[in-house]
Amino acid sequence: MLGSSKQLKVACAILWMVLLLFGFSGLTMATETPTTPGYLQYQEPAKAAAGSTMGTLAYVFSLIVLFIGVIALAYLTSRFLAAKMGGIGQSAGSSIHMTLALGPNRNIHLVEMAGRFFVVGATEQSIQLLFEIDSPEQIEAIRSSAKTNQPSFEAALGSQILALKQIRERFPTVFSPPGSSSRNDENEKR
């Protein structure tokens, strides 16, 4: 795991350098340096100089490369953080089933380690074992509630889409396409 973390950091650093190189080269090619007369000398107003086609293409290309690079870095960062955070919450034979927040940086956790269940209190300074759950009935109840409490992706997506539809119904003038208000008025008259 340690080697992959270093490889990820090196890959991110190289990607940033490439992005900066393309970004600056595109910007410098797209801008033309005007020639300036001497200090306080009058100069006729010049027509707006159009950028060269090559400079414009380089600028657009650099923007596309920068956009793709930012997306790639966001993806790599999310994978890196998911690996770090996923290792904290669950690993082989261990998981945190429930957490009760008591205040800032004060929690009670129901933790499973090697098939045994513990209730621990955690603060910034310490983690303390409160008690162990030995009862097979309670252990089975915890495992069954953990299976039923995890919502499916479809259910979560469906609830979010329903919430968006309700917002759209509340504010129809904001979320309707232009010109559809006259159609809505005609439909209401019928």
The pLDDT of residue 158 is above 70: yes
Higher model confidence: residue 99 or residue 15? 99
Q: Give residue 2's pLDDT band: very low, low, confident or very high (50, 70, 90).
A: very low
Q: What is the mean pLDDT of residues 103-123?
A: 88
Over 80: is that where the pLDDT of 167 sits? yes
pLDDT in tens, 46-84: 776 666 788 888 888 999 999 999 998 988 888 887 766
Q: Give mean pLDDT, residues 95-114.
A: 85
The span from the CA of 111 to the CA of 103, in Å, is 19
Q: What is the mean pLDDT of the chain?
A: 76
> Minimum mean pLDDT among 54-58, 135-139, 174-178, 180-184: which range?
180-184
Q: What is the mean pLDDT of residues 95-124?
A: 86
Looking at residue 89, what is its pLDDT? 47
